[in-house]
Structure 1
Amino acid sequence: MELEFLGTGAGVPAKHRNVSSIALKLLDECNAVWLFDCGEGTQLQILRTTIRPRKIEKIFITHLHGDHIFGLPGLISSRSFQGGSDALEIYGPKGIQEWIQTSLRLSKTRLSYPIKFIEIQEDGLLFEDNQFQVYCQKLEHGIDSYGYRVVEADHVGELQVDQLQELGIKPGPIFGKIKQGHQVTLDDGRVIDGKNYIGESKKGRIVTILGDTRKTSQSIELARDADVLVHESTFNKNEAKLARAYYHSTTHDAAEVAKAAQVDKLILTHISARYLGKDVEELQSEAKEIFENVWVAKDFYTLDIPLKKKEAL
C-alpha cells in the first residue's frame, strides 16, 4: 500500500505544484489504484509515474471546486483511449454525475467502459468488500466537502508449515482447515488446534484523506488511530482568521487534528503557491510545534504504508 501525491497545490496550478490529486496504490492488495480528487492536469502528472490509467478502479472526489475536479473529463477519456475496459466507480458529492456526464455529452466522448456513480447521501459507510471499508463524513468548507477513511481488514497470520511438517503432517486439504483455526483430528488420533499453528496476525492499515475544511470534530473522528492522515494546510499559523474566513485550515489546525486523533503520521498538502523553499520548511516546523511526525507533501512524493503487528488484547 502506497500513497503517491500527484498534485499538492491549492487553487491553481503552479510551476512547482499541480493542483489536488492523490493516488492510493493498492497493487499488492487488489491490483488497483484509487484516486482521491483529480485536479486539472492530473493525467499529465500520471504520465510521470508508473501508474496506468486502466488500473484506476475508483475515484473519490472530496468536493466540487475546480482545483479538485477539472482533470476528470480528460482522465476519463484517456482511460478509454488507452484500452481501459473495466468499470470505473466515481464517488463524490451530489452533482458530480451531472457535471461529468454533461462534459462527456457536449464533447461527444464515447467510453469503452461503464461508469458507476455513487453520490454521497449521508455520512457513514460508503463502500465495503472483504478487504476494505471506506467511510465518509461531511467537513466544513462552504460547499459540501467530504473526508474519507479507508480501513483495511486485518491480515491473518501465515500458516506455520515447517512446524506442521515436523509433526508429520503433509500438505493437503488439512492445511486449509488448520489455516482457518479449526481443531482437526489426525489419522493417528492426535488432535491439532489450528490456532497454535498460525503466525501472528497483522492489523489492517487506516488511511484518512480529507477534503478542504476548517478544523472540525468530524476530521478527528475520521482520522482516529490512522496510520496516515492527509490534511490540507492552506495557511500558516499566523493566518488563522483568513483560514476560517475561507473555510480552510492552518498548520496548527491540521496538527491539532492529528494529535487529537492519535495518528501515526501527518502529511500536509493543498499548499499555497506563495510558499516556496524555506517557507515550506517553516510550515512543517509550525506543525511540529504540536505534532512531531509530520511532513509537507510535494508532487510525486510517495509514502509506503507498512503493515504493523496486531496488538495483543
Structure 2
Amino acid sequence: MRVRVLGSAAGGGSPQWNCACPPCRDARRTGRNRTQDTVAVSGDGTAWFLLNAGPDIRSQILATPELAPGPGLRDTPLRGVLLTTAELDHTIGLLSLREAVRLTVHATPAVSAALQTAFPLRSMLAQYTDLDWREMPERLELDGGLIVDRLTVGAKRPRYATGTPGEGWVSALRLSDRRTGSSFVYATCLPVWTDAFDAFVDGAAEVLLDGTFATDDELTVMTGRPGSAAGMGHLPIVDSRPHAARHPGTRFRYGHLNNTNAMAGDDVVSDGTDIF
C-alpha cells in the first residue's frame, strides 16, 4: 500500500492569503507553505485514489510523479475520489478534475445530497465529464487490492448546507491492503474520540489524525476571533494525544493543520509526506 499526503493544511492553506497571525508571518518568511488537505492512496502503486479533493488539487497532482498521465493521451492512474465530508475545502477540487474522460466519486448519501441541492457541484461536473457518482457504504473494495471501511464520526454540516437533512456528514476511513493486511486510518476531521473510533483505529499501522488546532482556544489566542476547536468540529491535538497513547503499536500523525497552528515535529506531516 502507498499513502502520500498531497496537502497538509486545513481550509485556506498556510499561510492563509488574508491572515497575518504569527504562524502565517513565519510561513511567508521561511517559505514553508502548506496546501489544503488531500491524500493519495494506492494498493499496488498503479491504481490511485484521492481522499477528498481540495482546491489545490491541480498543483498537488503536478507535483506527484506517480499521478502523471500516460502512456495514452488521456490515461491517468487516478481511479476515483472518496469524499469524507461535503466541506468546500474537501470537494471544490473536483471541479479541477472536470477534464477527466470519466470521474468516479464515492460519497455518503448526505454528502451527495448536499452537493446536488445546496451546492449543485454534481450537476456542474456532469456537464464536463462522464460522472460516475456512487454511494459509499460502510465497506467497499477498490482496484489495486484496497479494502475501505467507513465510520461516521461527526454530524457537522457545511455552512452552505445548513438545514439539509441526513446522516453520515463526516467520515473516517480505514484502508487495508488485501495482500498484507496492513491498514491506514484517515481521520483529519474528528470532532470527538468515541469508543467506536477507538475500536476503528485499533490495530492500524498508521493513523492520520485531525491536527487542525493544537488547543481548543487556539483560534481566539492567535487571531482574537471568537470560536473554539470543539465548536468547529475538531478535536484539538492536546486532547487526542492521550487517546492515541493507549495504542502503542500504532503510529499517529497529524494533518489538516489550520494556518494558526504552528506545531511541528515527527508526528506532524507536511505536503509530500509518504506515510507508506
Q: What TM-score results when the alignment is normalised by the length of structure 1? A: 0.65
1:130 & 1:17 partners in 2: Cα distance? 29
Larger Rg: 1
- Which residues of structure 1 form unaligned runs of 5+? 81-86, 155-202, 285-293, 306-313
Q: CA RMSD in A?
A: 2.5
Query: Could you say which residue in structure 1 is the equivalent of 2:231?
Result: 245
SS for the counterpart of 2:53 is coil
Contact 1:61 1:92 in 2 (8 A): yes
2:94 & 2:143 partners in 1: Cα distance? 25
Question: Are residue 62 (structure 1) and residue 39 (structure 2) matched?
Answer: no
Query: Could you say which residue in structure 2 is the equivalent of 1:119?
Result: 135
Q: Which runs of 4+ in 1 moved over 4 A?
A: none
2:252 & 2:232 partners in 1: Cα distance? 22
Change (3 A) 1:268 1:72: same
Cα deviation for residue 140 of structure 1 reads 2.1
1:56 & 1:128 partners in 2: Cα distance? 12
- What is the letter of the counterpart of residue 42 of structure 1? I
Cα deviation for residue 93 of structure 1 reads 2.5
Percent identity (aligned): 17
Question: For each residue in 1:118-140, what CA deviation from the matched residue of structure 2 results, as whole angstroms up to 9, or x when unmatched?
Answer: 2246xx32336793321101012
Query: Could you say which residue in structure 1 is the equivalent of 2:108?
Result: 93
Question: For each residue in 1:253-298, what CA deviation from the matched residue of structure 2 results, as whole angstroms up to 9, or x when unmatched?
Answer: 33234334455211201101123xxx323xx4xxxxxxxxx52111
Query: Could you say which residue in structure 2 is the equivalent of 1:267?
Result: 253
Contact 1:147 1:208 in 2 (8 A): yes
Identify the match of residue 230 of structure 1 among 187, 191, 208: 208
SS for the counterpart of 2:100 is helix
Contact 1:215 1:257 in 2 (8 A): no
Change (3 A) 1:256 1:88: farther
Question: For each residue in 1:135-180, what CA deviation from the matched residue of structure 2 results, as whole angstroms up to 9, or x when unmatched?
Answer: 10101252310011112224xxxxxxxxxxxxxxxxxxxxxxxxxx
Q: What TM-score results when the alignment is normalised by the length of structure 2? A: 0.72
SS for the counterpart of 2:267 is strand
Identify the match of residue 206 of structure 1 among 183, 187, 194: 183
- Which residues of structure 2 form unaligned runs of 5+? 16-32, 70-75, 158-168, 219-226
Question: For each residue in 1:171-200, what CA deviation from the matched residue of structure 2 results, as whole angstroms up to 9, or x when unmatched?
Answer: xxxxxxxxxxxxxxxxxxxxxxxxxxxxxx
Change (3 A) 1:211 1:43: same
SS for the counterpart of 1:255 is helix
Question: Are residue 131 (structure 1) and residue 174 (structure 2) matched?
Answer: no
Query: Could you say which residue in structure 2 is the equivalent of 1:153?
Result: 178
